[in-house]
Amino acid sequence: MENAVTIEPPMITPASAPQQQVASDSEPDAAPERAPAFEVERLSIFYGEKKAIDGVTLTVPSKMITAIIGPSGCGKSTLLRSLNRMHELVPNTRVEGKVLFGGEDIYAPDVDPVVIRRRIGMVFQKSNPFPTMSIADNVLVGLKLNGVRDRAFLRERLEQSLRMAALWDEVKNDLHKPGVSLSGGQQQRLCIARAIAVEPEVLLMDEPASALDPIATAKIEELIHELSANYTVVIVTHNMQQAGRCSDYTAFLYLGQLIEFGSTTKIFSNPTERRTEDYITGRFG
Ligand SMILES: Nc1ncnc2c1ncn2[C@@H]1O[C@H](COP(=O)(O)OP(=O)(O)OP(=O)(O)O)[C@@H](O)[C@H]1O
Ligand SMILES: [Mg+2]
């Protein structure tokens, strides 16, 4: 994964429809000097007959934070979930195009989606601790399901994951209390600890702070920033300030199409596309 040396700028090329003009960030200095995490190529996703994602091509840089923004229903969650095949849990979905992760096609017939989801973790909008499990078991459930039994190892991973999720100090004396006894913001950090515990390479986050107050939101944002030292993070957000504050790159989706992708600074200060500007300045959405 990490040994490739190609320098690939985050880029976007026009998708299948030739008339579909997609603006791209051409700043040469925007190139991270690593192989990309994901290369999405002409991706379309269907729920039955409904095309929710329409010919999206984009490169997601590794160990950076990429935000996906756009109005409700434009396909943000669908695009995010397609990065670890989570959308397949909905019946009758269909995919056209490719998603390469570390250069490998995650939709190839011999790829096990369970393995993909272990390597590419997900944090949902609504925190979802397992109601009958303790704080500790909520964090360790993935490892235990994978057959890990070594108590010293589990104890160490528990502390490490909770520390990384900036929750350890608040719960270290309550590890056996139910996960659902925590506050909303703590539960969301618990879910982040659970996602981290299996040591994924990527964290996908779908509006992880939308149900939280400003203080809890600030904590989650700080945490996302810290996680990006070790992880590729892709975050969906409705909140423009949040995308502006906490991401390196931003993708603007509209009606299933990628309208513009580039460095967050460029997208928020000098977008190429009129529709991007209208959206980020609140003229629609
Ligand atoms: N399970 C599903 N079955 C059928 N259609 C779906 C399903 N989930 C989403 N869609 C459709 O796909 C399109 C994109 O939905 P998606 O949830 O990805 O949008 P979104 O940008 O995340 O919206 P929001 O900001 O409201 O969360 C919408 O038109 C939606 O109706
Ligand atoms: Mg959504």
Q: Which pLDDT value is given to residue 19?
A: 38
Ligand nearest to the CA of 78: 1
Report the pLDDT value the prediction gives residue 15, as an integer from 0 to 100: 32
The Cα-based distances of 139 to 65, 190, 226, 234, 263 in angstroms read 23, 7, 19, 21, 34
Looking only at the bridges linking them, the beta strands covering 257-263 and 23-24 are parallel
Taking 80 as the threshold, does the pLDDT of residue 117 lie above it? yes
Give distance in angstroms: CA of 117 to centre of ligand 1.
20
Q: What does the alpha-carbon distance between residue 258 and residue 92 come to, in Å, rounded to a whole number?
A: 23
**CA 202 – CA 117 distance, rounded (Å):** 10
Q: How far is CA 132 from CA 16, 165, 171, in A?
A: 48, 21, 17
Q: For residue 34, what pLDDT band results from cuts at 50, 70 and 90?
A: confident
CA of 141 to the centre of ligand 1 (A): 29
Q: What is the mean pLDDT of the chain?
A: 89
- Which residue, among 184, 205, 187, 209, has the nearest Cα to 135 in the 3D structure? 187
At 66 the three-state DSSP class reads: strand
Q: What is the pTM of this model?
A: 0.87
Query: 92-101, 105-114, 125-134 — which is least confidently predicted?
Result: 125-134
Q: Is the CB of 75 under 6 A from ligand 1?
A: yes
75 Cα–ligand 1 center, Å? 6
Superfamily of 36-280 according to CATH: P-loop containing nucleotide triphosphate hydrolases (3.40.50.300)
At 283 the pLDDT is 85
Least confident of 20-24, 159-163, 223-227: 20-24
Locate the domains of the chain by residue range: 36-280
Q: Given the CA of residue 48, which atom of ligand 1 is nearest to it? A: 4
Which neighbouring-strand residues pair with 232? Answer: 202
Confidence of residue 17 (pLDDT cuts 50, 70, 90): very low
- Give the count of beta carbons closer than 10 Å to the beta carbon of residue 24: 18
CA–CA separation, 115 and 137 (whole Å): 21
CA distance 76 to 254: 9
Give me the residues paired with residue 50 across strands: 47
- Chain-centroid distance of CA 251 in Å reads 12
Spacing, Cα 205 to ligand 2 middle (Å): 10
The more confidently predicted of residues 137 and 9 is 137
Cβ of residue 103 lying under 6 Å from some atom of ligand 1: no
pLDDT at 23: 56
Q: Is the CB of 50 under 6 A from ligand 1?
A: yes
Instruction: Give the pLDDT score at 1.
Output: 37
